[in-house]
Structure 1
């Protein structure tokens, strides 16, 4: 057989072999393509899961959101993390991520993020615990059931036992989520208490600063008052000043103790707040194990309260002062009359009484129906003393003024040309204040009658407790150059 004939005989075998190799290559390529496609899909799913987890993670604590809130800039944070961040920051209304100022003050919970984060916590893998505490010794099974009655973790068989079958049971995931909600409510309550204590600390600090200035001014007032009587009262004057300084120091120490105590409570509450926040981030099992002691300690912190200090000083009776004042007594100086309108204080007077805390001051003058009485006498010289009845349970104003401009249902007092004493109620306490100077006086408001002494030629007006003659305050100005009328106004309840 020739060479060509042999080649022709083997040609079909070669073609079949080549076809088999081609099919094998195609199958190998398809298998490789399928494997690459599956790997690519798994990588895409893993990346998508990581992106979803990042979207549900607070950038401050790096855990799933707890009670998430969203700022104007669009960034979201756990409400506890954001509050702690703002409390420690010099610009508390800035976004911790982009530093954009947030105009929102009443932040609402982002319900969608909260639900998504709750689901993410439920499906995440629980950390492997090497201890045997989470394994039931009786049945060698995992404890995944929470008993509401005994507050214990049980395995499935234990939950169906005679001891527990009549109890209420839940899964650890569900129980942990519900207790997280309770812990968040406790945290909100602690946060509000902390804010209130911070405001009270500022108030006590303001009182202490005001008291220091007032004590110095009151020294001068007392010294001037003792100059009205004989030199033999000098020793009494010195004793009075010493006692007042001692009492002022005691009050100042009380204010400082109150401030320190409130500051310590703030620290304790912040630590408890942070502990509760950290506890919320624990696994369901760890959270439920430590729940009892934490709840008891938070209840103890919540019932701690600190009363604000009353900074009023004790007024002393000056020997012989009432006898001296009675020499200049004038009777029936006021004629009662009814003014059917509302008298309001200027912002300066209200500012002195309420301090610099603008949030506690009324935005508009409070309008209160009043009964006013003004003088039938007009004083243009000399020294004059009269006594005025004051109510016990309402605000009032009394003193002397240049004139009273009467309208149909209104009256106006020129505060620049008047020397007045105010008794105004704020909360459960009455405060005495004056308009010249604008000052709150840290003395106890007298009950019954107040004596008013006018020395027209020297330009002084002093107010005394008519029961014992003790000094309430003394107002000094340049000599008067215009007629003065006595004045009193009492707010109706």
Structure 2
């Protein structure tokens, strides 16, 4: 076991060295510029398309008087070997991580159901005491039902039955990212569930729905009635913005996140500074950093609420929410550190079989 670890790290490092800085994938037909940097032939051709000379290297910004590059057959051979030797291993590692996460969720769900069954058995054993004459009791202060409803009633089934997804109505929405709206510096995975900010521009096709001034991306699924809930894995990211946006927001201008501009959002900065997207920003006191954020949208009541999806504690709720059709909103934000950018991930859960 100890001998396998260095080999795995070495393969991972080699794979990174053979990754194109434009498409963030292994080289396809690698070519070399005069500055010795390598890119996919298609990626650099697309990057320079429509650009007058002089052109520049996307990585070091060195300028060249002509659009010239040279095919590197040695790197081509190395890429093919790495692709053949690591693709299966890479997929297996991802599958193992997903399997471990699902197993942990399954175990917590079973523990939760066991506790519920035990409490139900206890309730059946309780016998009503002999009825006694009613006592006259001072009614006391009235319960603020509106305040109670705004904090608890809307997500009550998620707080109580969150892990029994098959019985939830509505169940967690299988939201995916809309690539046509992604800013050019936001890379979206092929299954549309992972988004991460990149140092270089992704060669997306021009689209009027695309954000051009801010590092944002919208969900592909829109909502205008009913209740909807989805969860976003933020992990240890130090910066992000999440929420909903009106489908009519201006994609070409610089975004100002506020309800007046069509955004209802929660933000994180510096790793521990949480704020609600009001004008001005409302600072929030959060005990510990959530790894998953739950977004609850009630179109009929015009409410948008944010939860720590680990324990379903309320982080913030907008009571005067959107009108009309809205879309899930996400921003992985620009990476200000020298560390590898951390992604945000849309969490999808398989149906749970609750039959005996």
What TM-score do the two structures reach when normalised by structure 1?
A: 0.28
Higher normalized contact order (CA 8 Å, seq sep 6+, divided by chain length):
2
User: TM-score, structure 2 length as denominator?
Assistant: 0.38
- Which of the two has greater helix per residue? 1
